[in-house]
Amino acid sequence: MSRICVNVLSVINSASNITSETIDGVEHIVVKDVCPVIDDIVLNGGLYPADEITKGFKSLEGKPMPYGHPKIEGQYVSASNVRAVNEYHIGAFARNVRKDSDRVLMDMCINRRFAEATDKGKEVVNRLDDMKAGKDVEPIGVSTGLGLNKAAGSGTSKGKKYSWIATNQDYDHCAILLHETPAGTPQEGVGIFVNAQGDQLEIQTANLADGSNCTKEGIVNKTKFFFTNASSFSFDDISRAIGDKLREGRTDDNWLWPESIWPDTFIYRDDSQYFKQKYLINDDGTAEFVGDRQEVVRKPTEYEIKTNGETDPMKHLIVNALKAAGKPTEGKTDEELMDAYNQMAADDAKAKAEADEKAKKEKEEADKKAKETATNSEEAPAWFKPFADKLTTIENGLAVNSDKEKGEKRTAVKAKFGLDDLAVNALDGAALDGLYAQCQSSVGLNGGIRHQVNTQSLSEMPE
């Protein structure tokens, strides 16, 4: 027989079961009547028979209740592992494990002082305190780490089929879960579990509520669940039976009554909270609740705007636009019409962007050409041409005279100071004028030879 580890999830959602008690001189939070398993229940296709549960349930007494299923270096391990104790222990343990009819019950005890000294323990304590105070908080899940052997066997129990039998049941721990969905299967149960002896066991997960829900197995149960409820009893009978079941065992003055009823579920209000609960109506007219209740929130009715008749104005506009562009529309679905319209819009946008870019480039080229023409080759008006020609002649004459004057000055400086051609030709501007001034000598009015200096003004030059 193969041995496996099964994590069975159940839920704590009753504030009336949360009390305080002094244990070993220290205050403990005590949650009573936590149910880890039920006789003859079928989980994941395996039968948990009453006799095997009776032999094994006492192994849960005194076992640790860590914050989640312990993992060391990514490996699921026994809660008795020292490193697991250091990381996951919050001072919680199982106590007073017992059988009550077909159910195993136990008390969850948490050392408040120890728990509040750790972040994980403080989170659990705060959740339980809020739950006890009636605040709107998520229920707490507990997932029992149960080792067992799979024995051969098949049949049906509680309306569900099984193909193997859970034997030699032995509990390692019962994990406290705050962040898993209470109505679903805990995800941390996937992998390999290493027990206290170092053996590696395959892990399976199971939800106690699923094992109690006969609607998950077989057409007969589903048919009974969805149709039989309303076939033999009136609406008033069903409503009365549900109300009686809601108030069963309650001693407070809170009068519970279903507000909305469907063939398989109903909604009721408990104080300021609303809950959804699955149910069955037994042959004797009594109600039986299936699985755990789920808190729900009432939402306002939403209305959808619809078009008059079969006319869809948006579709009409899309079809007309496609037709105007020469696109086919006959025989196309709404999705195909929308895709074609979106593609056409994308093509139009692309074409417009390309045209804008082309126009921009053409304008830039035209502006550049116009600027070059205006600067380098634009002709003056006909009436201005004579003036332009005269100005050109004057500018040329000035340039010739200037070069001639420099040549004369350099010749005089060379003769005066005995400089070579390279040095003389390098002279210009103020340096040339300064040396040339030292070369001039005074002459009489009738001197036969005198240096000619061009002193004509612009107006005295020939045209």
Amino acid residing at 118: T
Q: What digits encode the pLDDT tens for the residues 244-270?
A: 889 887 777 777 888 888 777 889 988
Q: Is it the case that residue 304 has pLDDT exceeding 60?
A: no
Q: Is it the case that residue 298 has pLDDT exceeding 70?
A: no
Sort strands 192-194 and 75-77 into parallel, antiparallel or unpaired.
parallel
Residue 63's pLDDT is: 92
**Residue 111 tokens, joined:** 């050392």
Q: Is it the case that residue 343 has pLDDT exceeding 60?
A: yes
Measured distance CA(305)–CA(316) in Å, rounded:
17
Q: Using alpha carbons, list the distances in angstroms from residue 16 to 129, 178, 241, 280.
A: 12, 19, 23, 25
Residue 103's pLDDT is: 84
Q: Is it the case that residue 84 has pLDDT exceeding 80?
A: yes
Report CA Rg, the chain.
Answer: 51
Residue 214's pLDDT is: 57
> Most confidently modeled of 17-21, 107-111, 386-390, 447-451?
107-111
Residue 293 CA to chain centroid, in angstroms? 29
pLDDT band at 387 (very low <50, low <70, confident <90, very high): low
Residue 21's pLDDT is: 93
Q: What digits encode the pLDDT tens for the residues 35-51?
A: 888 888 888 788 889 99
- Residue whose C-alpha is closest to residue 160's, from 47, 4, 8: 47
Residue 456's pLDDT is: 47
Residue 347's pLDDT is: 81
Residue 253's pLDDT is: 72
Of 64-73, 256-265, 447-456, give the lowest mean pLDDT range: 447-456
CB 147 within 8 A of CB 201: yes
Residue 395's pLDDT is: 61
Q: What is the mean pLDDT of residues 370-388?
A: 61
CB 300 within 8 A of CB 278: no
Q: Is it the case that residue 126 has pLDDT exceeding 80?
A: yes
Q: Is it the case that residue 117 has pLDDT exceeding 50?
A: yes
Residue 332's pLDDT is: 78
Q: Is it the case that residue 55 has pLDDT exceeding 50?
A: yes
CB 268 within 8 A of CB 279: no
CA neighbours within 13 Å on the CB side: how many for 392?
A: 6
Of 61-75, 170-184, 314-328, 366-380, give the lowest mean pLDDT range: 366-380
Q: Is it the case that residue 160 has pLDDT exceeding 70?
A: yes
Q: What is the mean pLDDT of residues 122-142?
A: 86
Degrees to nearest 5, angle at CA 92 with 89 and 94: 125
CB 168 within 8 A of CB 46: no
Average pLDDT, the chain: 75
Q: What is the mean pLDDT of residues 337-345?
A: 77
| Number of other residues whose CB lies within 10 A of the CB of residue 303 | 6
Of 25-29, 367-371, 373-377, 383-387, give the lowest mean pLDDT range: 373-377
Q: Is it the case that residue 1 has pLDDT exceeding 60?
A: no
Higher per-residue confidence, 184 vs 285: 285
In the chain, what's the furthest Cα-to-Cα distance?
Answer: 159
- Residue whose C-alpha is closest to residue 213's, from 256, 162, 159, 176: 159
pLDDT band at 148 (very low <50, low <70, confident <90, very high): confident
Residue 189's pLDDT is: 32
Q: What digits encode the pLDDT tens for the residues 161-195?
A: 888 898 998 888 888 888 764 333 333 333 344 45
Residue 59's pLDDT is: 92
Residue 197's pLDDT is: 58
Residue with tokens 């036969």, as numbered in its chain:
448
Q: What φ, ψ does residue 370 adopt, rounded to 5°?
A: -65, -40
CB 265 within 8 A of CB 278: yes
Q: What is the mean pLDDT of residues 106-123?
A: 93
> Most confidently modeled of 17-26, 144-153, 219-228?
17-26
Residue 446's pLDDT is: 45
Degrees to nearest 5, angle at CA 83 with 127 and 171: 70
Q: Is it the case that residue 19 has pLDDT exceeding 70?
A: yes
Measured distance CA(131)–CA(251) in Å, rounded:
19
Residue 184's pLDDT is: 32
Measured distance CA(428)–CA(407) in Å, rounded:
10
